[in-house]
Amino acid sequence: MNEERVLALAGLFQASALAHQLANEGRCDELALDASMASVFRIDSPSVVGVYGSVSGVRLGLRTLIAQLDENSRDMAITRMVVTVMRLERSLGRHKDLLEELQQGIVAAKRQVDHFGQNSPQVFSRMAELYAGTLSTLRPRVMVTGNPQWLQQPALVERVRTALLAAVRSAVLWRQVGGRQWQLLMHRRQCSMLARGLLTGTTLDNR
For the chain, the domains span: 3-205
Domain 3-205 has CATH 1.10.1040.10: no
> Phi and psi (nearest 5°) for 149?
-55, -40
Give residue 207's pLDDT: 40
Burial class (CB in 10 A: 0-12, 13-18, 19+), 98: middle
CA geometry: angle at 115 spanning 118 and 12, to 5°?
Answer: 25
* Number of other CB atoms surrounding residue 67 within 10 Å: 17
d(CA 54, CA 165): 20
Cβ contact 169:87 at 8 Å: no
**9-22 as b/e, with b when 16 or more CB fall inside 10 Å?**
bbbbbbbbbbbbbb
d(CA 56, CA 107): 25
Cβ contact 20:75 at 8 Å: yes
Give residue 44's pLDDT: 85
**34 Cβ neighbours under 8 A, 6+ residues apart:** 118, 119
Q: Report the Cα 8 to chain-centroid distance in Å.
A: 9
Q: How many angstroms separate the most distant Cα atoms in the chain?
A: 46
pTM of the complete model: 0.96
Cβ contact 7:52 at 8 Å: yes
Distances (CA, A) of 151 to 19, 23, 67, 104, 157: 11, 6, 26, 28, 6
Q: Which residues of the chain have pLDDT under 50?
A: 207
